[in-house]
Amino acid sequence: MIRDQIKSALTGAMKSGDKPRTATLRLVQSAIKNRDIELRGGAAPKDDDAMVTEVLQKMIKQRRESIDMYKKGGREELAAAEAAEVEVIEEFLPSQMSDEEIGAAIDALVTETGADSVKDMGRVMALMKERHSGQLDMSRASQMVKAKLS
């Protein structure tokens, strides 16, 4: 489980005295704990790794947006710190699909759903998220689906 990997990595980082890595892993654990609290009232997630992956992807997205803003503002040192956090967080994500693999999955889903225009994009994206969530960046997949159906 990804949770266990994060916990053991945190222990290792603390023992080695790697303060930036320790801080990042603590942020990750905190975000996962917050997500657990949010989900308490509802049904438990079917797959814990999927939920953790979703949290990690959200954290990476937030940091990439921050990196862009810091670079535009001329704050390279802050952008570098955010980039270092992204590297640590990415270690725990499952392997990502390549563009060729995403293209093949899109082709299969378009054929399966019979989608032929941008109006059908929602059905294709719903299946894409259901089957491949955690393995790809959904915004990139969305762009590729839109290009395919245009």
Residue 119: which pLDDT band, with cuts at 50, 70 and 90? confident
- 62 plus 132 within the same structural domain: no
- If one counts the domains in the chain, the total is 2
Name the average pLDDT for the chain.
88
The least confident of 24-33, 70-79, 123-132 is 123-132
Tell whether the model's pLDDT for residue 124 goes beyond 70: yes
- The three-state (H, E, C) secondary structure of the chain, written as one string: CHHHHHHHHHHHHHHHCCHHHHHHHHHHHHHHHHHHHHHCCCCCCCCHHHHHHHHHHHHHHHHHHHHHHHHHCCCHHHHHHHHHHHHHHHCCCCCCCCHHHHHHHHHHHHHHHCCCCHHHHHHHHHHHHHHHCCCCCHHHHHHHHHHHHC
Sign, CA dihedral 8-9-10-11, equals positive
Tell whether the model's pLDDT for residue 147 goes beyond 90: no
Q: What is the CATH number of the domain that holds 109?
A: 1.10.10.410
- pTM metric for this prediction: 0.74
Answer with the one of 73, 90, 107 that is the final residue of a domain: 90
- Enclosing domain of residue 34: 2-90
Average pLDDT over residues 59-78: 95
- 84 plus 37 within the same structural domain: yes
Tell whether the model's pLDDT for residue 126 goes beyond 90: no
